[in-house]
Structure 1
Amino acid sequence: MAAKEKESKALPEGQAENPKKPSRVKRIVIILAILLITLSGAGIGAYWWFFIRTPSVSSAVPHDAPAGEAAKGAPGGAGGTAGAGGGHGGAAGAAGGADGRIERQSDLPRSSGQVLPLPPITVNISDPTGRRYLKLGMEVEVNADVSAALQANSPRIRDAIIMLLAGKTFNDISTPDGKVLLKAEVAARLNQILGAQRVIRVYFTDFVVE
């Protein structure tokens, strides 16, 4: 008996406390699990807030914003869209006044004038990938008989349109909005030359980029 008591007293102190260790480890595991669950919930909440949540439409667009405001890409806006090929190419482009101000064609009243053709124009346009050509055919709707004025100013009109087109890149005119803006700029140049807002609308009858 004395020998057994000696052996039990001779055990190291660390071995005598072994039964308490599982309890401490279990407590640490529970704390770590709680931390992981908390961090996971915070991460999911942040992902939903920044990547999934859809902003309110009313907060993105003011209630008093005019229709088509998001399509404005230049002074006076660029309302509507335009076709890229033949026909009249749509009448939702823009026209410019004699002072160079650009107006949306859809906002202008229908005129009782006539539609007159302009001579086709072929011009180089800028393109980083290489040389490109634009072949452009147009007709203009006017609010008065200006055929004589167009004929008399034909060199100035042709020069103004060529200079306008030469400053364009392929990216400028390859989109519907770009074509609408080009109509507006052509109308503004013509009205500056004619000295009054005689050109109401511009129609593209041919639009080919090679």
Structure 2
Amino acid sequence: MAKKQAPAAEGAAAEGKGKGKLKLIIIIVVALLLVIGASVGATWFLLGKKSAEPEHAAPAAPAAPVHLAAVYQALVPAFVVNYNAEGRQRYMQVTVTLMGRDQGQMDALKAQLPQVRNQLVMLFSGQDFNSLLTPVGKEMLRQQATSKVQELAKKLTGQTAIEQVLFTNLVLQ
């Protein structure tokens, strides 16, 4: 009987040592977390306090440019162009709106609208019907129209004047 109790006593002693090591590991981990937290808090406090001192701060950089509200100019009436595709007569109707950010530039371009309309008619009439059936083809046409109008505006007024050409209606037949 004495032999049976001796191994049990050794197991209890080993189990007590395992619990002691586990407690020690937990205490070390908690202490490490507290030190890291204190370090982060102190850094945040000191950096926040440093930026609040205006007397030692360097001169402020100019603020980022503020985007002005969008200004829209609809080109009325809608563009209707025809072209041959695969031996058939095809038609395209496009309602176009110009988007800019400066009303003065848009007004300067408004005086040149006949030339803008001519440029867009020439662009629209030279398109391939099959490519315009896909969303990618329509987006490419819109980007081409934007670049053509920006080039023309730069040539006529000295400024690009518009940011985008928007299609508010596009019908293919």
TM normalised by structure 1 equals 0.45
Structure 1 residue 121 corresponds to structure 2 residue 79: yes
Aligned ranges 1:193-208 → 2 under 5 Å: 193-195=152-154, 196-208=159-171
Q: Which secondary structure does the structure 2 equivalent of 1:159 belong to?
A: helix
2:147 to 173, 180, 188: 188
RMSD: 1.9
Structure number having the greater helix percentage? 2
Please tell me the residue identity of whatever aligns with 2:101: N
Aligned 8 A contact 1:125 1:165 in 2:
no
Q: 1:125 to 1:172 in 2, by over 3 A?
A: farther
Q: Which secondary structure does the structure 1 equivalent of 2:118 belong to?
A: helix
Aligned ranges 1:97-176 → 2 under 5 Å: 112-119=69-76, 120-145=78-103, 146-176=105-135
Alpha-carbon offset, residue 110 of structure 1: 6.1
Deviations along 1:75-96, whole A, 9 cap, x unmatched?
Answer: xxxxxxxxxxxxxxxxxxxxxx
Unaligned runs of 5+ in 1: 1-108
Separation (CA, whole Å) in 1 of partners of 2:97 and 2:113: 14
TM normalised by structure 2 equals 0.54
Aligned 8 A contact 1:141 1:199 in 2:
yes
Alpha-carbon offset, residue 134 of structure 1: 0.4
Deviations along 1:51-79, whole A, 9 cap, x unmatched?
Answer: xxxxxxxxxxxxxxxxxxxxxxxxxxxxx
Please tell me the residue identity of whatever aligns with 1:184: Q
Specify which structure has the bigger relative contact order, considering alpha-carbon pairs within 8 angstroms and separated by 6 or more residues: 1
The equivalent of 1:53 in structure 2 is: none
Q: What's the % identity of the aligned pairs?
A: 24
Q: Which secondary structure does the structure 2 equivalent of 1:208 belong to?
A: strand
Deviations along 1:155-191, whole A, 9 cap, x unmatched?
Answer: 1111100110111010121111111111111111111
Residue correspondences, number: 102
Separation (CA, whole Å) in 2 of partners of 1:152 and 1:193: 13
Separation (CA, whole Å) in 1 of partners of 2:128 and 2:168: 20
Aligned 8 A contact 2:106 2:162 in 1:
no
Aligned 8 A contact 1:126 1:167 in 2:
no
Aligned 8 A contact 1:111 1:200 in 2:
no
Structure 1 residue 209 corresponds to structure 2 residue 155: no
Aligned 8 A contact 2:116 2:152 in 1:
yes
Q: 1:206 to 1:110 in 2, by over 3 A?
A: farther
Aligned 8 A contact 1:138 1:202 in 2:
yes
Unaligned runs of 5+ in 2: 1-65
